[in-house]
């Protein structure tokens, strides 16, 4: 039998989805006015929409004509801390614009922008455009003297974007309860042929990453109660499975091995 070190082996693991999303009103379910989502300090061109949604009841439909339109809020952070930013977007095909992008940055305690070369390529993305729901996700580290994260996404000129389930959360180890019969079960661990997930009623999206953060596999969940993921295309090693549920994200590690 192959020896695997630095990891706790178990027949299955269970997770509870309670990590805190720092974004206020991440799914746009609360509105002060039809054009003012609660908690968002800037929401130019944003309207409450109930026809094109990813989850729950509403999304934000943001239209831009001659200039880009911003959607944003300022979030307190701790320097040196790892964070994950992710959001779902969908664009209307008419208009010929370039879609949308993330255009966020860090700020110090006085509100001055910080130029962090490490995270800048992830926080200033290229053009994002899709006529179906698509997710953008990045892991970033708050630089020295950072006190705030200036979360900004933009709809570019002559474009319409629908936004939903925007996440900014501290990237901390997930709470794992061995042997619990409650909530989501992921098994077996280690896995050889198929990774099974059950009790999935609350899950919206699943992705599997390498330990270096490269996305290997992903799937949107549409009410399935269980799922079997083939492992044939995965090399032996450690992977991270991320579970998304109503504005929250949790992740755990599992081992793929061909000799167990």
Q: Write out the E strands in 2-81.
A: 13-15, 31-33, 36-37, 42-43, 46-49, 59-64, 69-76
- Overall fold of domain 13-19+173-256: Immunoglobulin-like (2.60.40)
Q: How many other CB atoms sit within 10 Å of the CB of residue 173?
A: 10
Q: For the chain, what are the domain ranges? A: 13-19+173-256, 31-170
Separation between Cα atoms, residue 44 and residue 152, nearest integer Å:
11
Q: In DSSP terms, which residues pair with 139 in a beta bridge?
A: 84
**DSSP string for residues in 94-146:** TT----EEEB-EEE-TTS-EE--TTTHHHHB---B--SS-EEEEEEEEPPTT-
Q: How many CA atoms lie within 13 A of 206 on its CB side?
A: 23
**DSSP string for residues in 62-88:** EEESSS-EEEEEEEE--TT-EEEEEEE
Separation between Cα atoms, residue 72 and residue 91, nearest integer Å:
18
Separation between Cα atoms, residue 253 and residue 211, nearest integer Å:
9
Give φ, ψ of 122 to 5 degrees: -85, -30
Identical fold, 13-19+173-256 and 31-170? no
CATH class (in words) of the domain with range 31-170: mainly beta
User: Among 51, 24, 52, which Cα is nearest to 38's?
Assistant: 24
Q: What 8-state DSSP symbol labels residue 202?
A: T
Per-residue pLDDT of the chain in tens (260 residues, 90 and over written 9): 344 443 344 456 666 555 568 999 999 999 999 999 999 999 999 999 999 998 889 999 999 998 999 999 999 999 998 898 989 999 998 778 999 999 999 999 999 999 999 999 999 999 999 999 998 988 899 999 999 999 999 999 999 999 999 999 886 544 444 443 347 888 888 889 999 988 888 888 898 988 767 788 999 888 888 899 999 989 988 888 888 876 677 777 888 888 65
Q: Model-level pTM greater than 0.75?
A: no
């Amino acid at each position: 039998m192959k020896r695997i070190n630095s990891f706790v082996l178990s027949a299955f693991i269970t997770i509870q989805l309670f990590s805190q999303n720092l974004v206020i009103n991440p799914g746009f379910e609360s509105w002060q006015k039809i054009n003012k989502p609660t908690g968002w300090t800037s929401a130019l061109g944003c309207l409450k929409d109930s026809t094109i949604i990813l989850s729950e009841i509403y999304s934000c439909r943001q239209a831009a004509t001659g200039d880009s339109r911003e959607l944003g809020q300022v979030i307190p952070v701790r320097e040196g801390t790892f964070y994950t930013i992710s959001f779902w977007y969908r664009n209307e095909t008419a208009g010929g614009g370039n879609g949308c992008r993330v255009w966020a940055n860090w700020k110090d305690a006085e509100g001055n922008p910080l130029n962090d070369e490490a995270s800048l390529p992830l926080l200033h993305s290229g053009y994002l455009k899709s006529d179906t729901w698509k997710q953008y996700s990045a892991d970033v580290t708050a630089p020295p003297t950072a006190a705030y994260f200036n979360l900004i996404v933009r709809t570019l000129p002559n474009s319409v974007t629908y936004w939903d389930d925007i996440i900014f959360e501290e990237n901390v180890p997930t709470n794992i309860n061995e042997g619990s019969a409650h909530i989501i079960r992921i098994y077996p661990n280690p896995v050889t042929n198929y990774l099974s997930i059950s009790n999935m009623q609350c899950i919206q999206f699943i992705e599997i990453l390498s330990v270096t953060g490269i996305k290997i596999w992903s799937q949107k969940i549409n009410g399935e109660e269980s799922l079997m993921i083939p492992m044939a295309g995965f090399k032996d090693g450690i992977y991270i499975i991320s579970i998304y549920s109503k504005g929250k994200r949790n992740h755990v590690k599992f081992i793929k091995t061909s000799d167990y």
